[in-house]
């Protein structure tokens, strides 16, 4: 009797294991820029249609890829 209930709980556990969610997405990137008007296309193969943002408040977040653009000429570098 005991063996049977053990087998049942084992199969229930296997079902739960296969239902695992995929790996979490990478954290949003912060990009420092030295112009108040920037374009984002997501970058690389995982890109998206190009969108322009005005950093009137000093920063903007891309609605497609969640990258954050911060107006900071010193950190932007060359």
Q: List interacting residues with Zn ion (CB under 5 A).
A: 40, 42, 62, 64-65
- Residue 64: how many CB atoms within 10 A of its CB? 14
Of the two residues 31 and 72, which places its CB atom closer to Zn ion in the complex?
Answer: 31
> What letter would DSSP give residue 43?
S
Kindly tell me which of 32 and 64 has the beta carbon lying closer to Zn ion.
64
Q: How far is the CB of 76 from Zn ion (least distance, A)?
A: 17
What is the Cα–Cα distance from 55 to 57, expressed in whole angstroms? 5
CB of residue 47 to Zn ion, shortest distance in Å: 8
Residue whose beta carbon is closest to Zn ion: 62
Q: HSE (CB half, 13 Å, CA atoms) of 6?
A: 3
């Amino acid at each position: 009797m005991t063996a049977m209930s053990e087998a049942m709980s084992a199969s229930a556990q296997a079902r739960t294991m296969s239902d695992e969610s995929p790996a979490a997405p990478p954290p949003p990137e912060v990009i420092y820029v030295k112009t108040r008007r920037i374009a984002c296309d997501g970058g690389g193969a995982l890109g998206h249609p190009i969108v322009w943002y005005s950093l009137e408040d000093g920063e903007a977040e891309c609605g497609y890829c969640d990258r954050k653009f911060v107006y900071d000429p010193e950190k932007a570098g060359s």
